[in-house]
Amino acid sequence: MFGFRYFTPTKVVFGKETEYQVADLIREFGGTKVLIHYGGGSVIRSGLLSRVTKVLDEAGIAYITLGGAVPNPHLTLVYEGIELCRKEGVDFLLAVGGGSAIDSAKAIGYGLANEGDVWDFYDYKRKAKGCMPLGVILTIAATGSEMSDSSVITKEEGWVKRGYSSDYSRPKFAILNPELTMTLPDYQTACGCTDIMMHTMERYFTNGGNMEITDALAEGLLRTVKEQAKILAKDPNNYNARAEVMWAGSLAHNGLTGCGNDGGDWMTHKLEHELGGLYDVAHGAGLAAIWGSWARYVYKNCLPRFKRFAINVMGVANEGTDEEIALRGIEAVEDFYREIKMPTNLRELGVKATEEDLVLMAHKCAVGVGGEMGLARKLNEQDMLAIYRMSM
């Protein structure tokens, strides 16, 4: 068991019609001039954006808007947002959308609160000393960015995708109305459930030093998302299932499911980041396409955890050798992915990678993690290449 810090200051306001509380929340945290940052047209089409601006108008809170945050959000838009906010005297950021809008807003916030090039933080050159306060109205349950300390930005030049984490960027508030996620395409819903589970699974597969209560919470969360994802695959407008998944998404990545662990493995995410940088695939689907190959490559080095996971999360019977149980657990995850229409390899993901592509991704991934990384099993560039090949 390891010592840990746990810091989740985000005020969560959860339930139907909670977006109408946005003006009060902005005021509570001192905002007087707001940048509303969003992604594509869905928040316009759904009417959410006009509901939000109406609430702000009625409350007399000034705002400007900036759309265009794409999945794997781009650095160019971040620069644009920083310049716009400086010019307009913005003192509070409101992200309306999913992880893309939130991560883009976090990067804008770093840019506003620090001198110099904001990419320096994502490029590990220096550490941020602050971030402009931000709030969130969430429309996609997936990344957990609404309570997390992390954000991921892609620099278009060379398609370099990098994450940066600091407590400064934890949102001041997160408005979670499950109804806002009901207009999502089924594929995006399934991607979100995969991402949510993976945030907890990354923290779960480690080699010793775990905390029993953290494991119990993690397993409870994973079982819940697994069951609710299957419900949503058949009944996307099920409010209770939407709510379960939405709250799970925040808890899966706010730190709760890693307390007392040694930080987590995170190699599935790193391997997927290269996919996302090169092919612009949906993050959750990319994780699903990689995970089975990663798991089969590492499980013998982390057998007690894979066995426990198989039994306590996937409901595998405690019969046979540990290896057999562990493998049945991995198969059960892949069966689950198929049931919610997620890919289990690159081909199903729609990625036709050449051997050269795999070599390039493995190289970029190894460079990105500083040579080697992983707790379930430490992986170097050759290991990464082997996993990419298995995932074809």
Q: Which residues does 264 contact at the CB level (< 8 Å), separation at least 6?
A: 202, 203, 204, 205, 206, 258, 375
Q: How far is the CB of 86 from its own copies (least distance, A)?
A: 28
Stretch that binds its own copies, among 9-17, 44-52, 57-65, 185-193 (CB under 8 A): 9-17
Q: How far is the CB of 196 from its own copies (least distance, A)?
A: 11
Q: Show the tokens assigned to 157.
A: 């030049």
Stretch that binds its own copies, among 12-20, 290-298, 300-308, 331-339 (CB under 8 A): 12-20
- As a whole number of angstroms, the distance between CA 264 and CA 204 comes to 7
- Beta carbon nearer to its own copies, 176 or 290: 176
Stretch that binds its own copies, among 47-55, 217-225, 291-299, 301-309 (CB under 8 A): 217-225
Q: How far is the CB of 245 from its own copies (least distance, A)?
A: 9
Binding to its own copies by residue 229, rule CB under 8 A? Answer: no
Q: How far out from the chain centre does Cα 381 lie?
A: 24
Q: How far is the CB of 18 from its own copies (least distance, A)?
A: 7
Position among 70, 217, 278, 303 found at the interface with its own copies (CB under 8 A): 217
- Beta carbon nearer to its own copies, 219 or 334: 219
Stretch that binds its own copies, among 94-102, 113-121, 241-249, 332-340 (CB under 8 A): 241-249
Binding to its own copies by residue 36, rule CB under 8 A? Answer: no
- In the DSSP assignment, the letter for residue 124 is T
Q: Whose CA is closest to 89, among 63, 56, 110? A: 63
Contact 353, 293 (CB under 8 A): no
Position among 248, 290, 358, 362 found at the interface with its own copies (CB under 8 A): 248
Binding to its own copies by residue 234, rule CB under 8 A? Answer: no
- Beta carbon nearer to its own copies, 248 or 369: 248
Binding to its own copies by residue 243, rule CB under 8 A? Answer: yes
For residue 241, the surrounding DSSP H or E stretch is: helix 239-253
Residue 64: strand pairing partners: 35
First to last CA, the chain: 37
- As a whole number of angstroms, the distance between CA 262 and CA 152 comes to 22
φ/ψ bin of 72: left (φ > 0), alpha (ψ from -120 to 50), beta (otherwise): left
Q: Show the tokens assigned to 55.
A: 């609430």
Stretch that binds its own copies, among 45-53, 68-76, 245-253, 321-329 (CB under 8 A): 245-253
Binding to its own copies by residue 87, rule CB under 8 A? Answer: no
Q: Show the tokens assigned to 101.
A: 């809008």
The torsion angles phi and psi of 133, rounded to 5 degrees, stand at -60, 140
Contact 331, 310 (CB under 8 A): no
Binding to its own copies by residue 169, rule CB under 8 A? Answer: no
Binding to its own copies by residue 8, rule CB under 8 A? Answer: yes
The overall longest dimension of the chain from CA atoms, in Å, is: 66
Q: Which residues does 60 contact at the CB level (< 8 Å), separation at least 6?
A: none
Q: How far is the CB of 244 from its own copies (least distance, A)?
A: 5
Binding to its own copies by residue 131, rule CB under 8 A? Answer: no
Query: What mask of x and - would describe binding to its own copies in positions 276 to 315, judged by CB under 8 A?
Result: ----------------------------------------
Residue 38: strand pairing partners: 96
For residue 65, the surrounding DSSP H or E stretch is: strand 62-66
Binding to its own copies by residue 224, rule CB under 8 A? Answer: yes
Binding to its own copies by residue 35, rule CB under 8 A? Answer: no
Burial of 236 (0-12, 13-18, 19+ CB in 10 A): middle
Q: Show the tokens assigned to 298.
A: 């590492």
| Site for its own copies, rule CB under 8 A | 1-9, 11-16, 18, 211-213, 216-217, 219-221, 223-225, 227-228, 239-240, 243-244, 247-248, 251, 256, 259-260
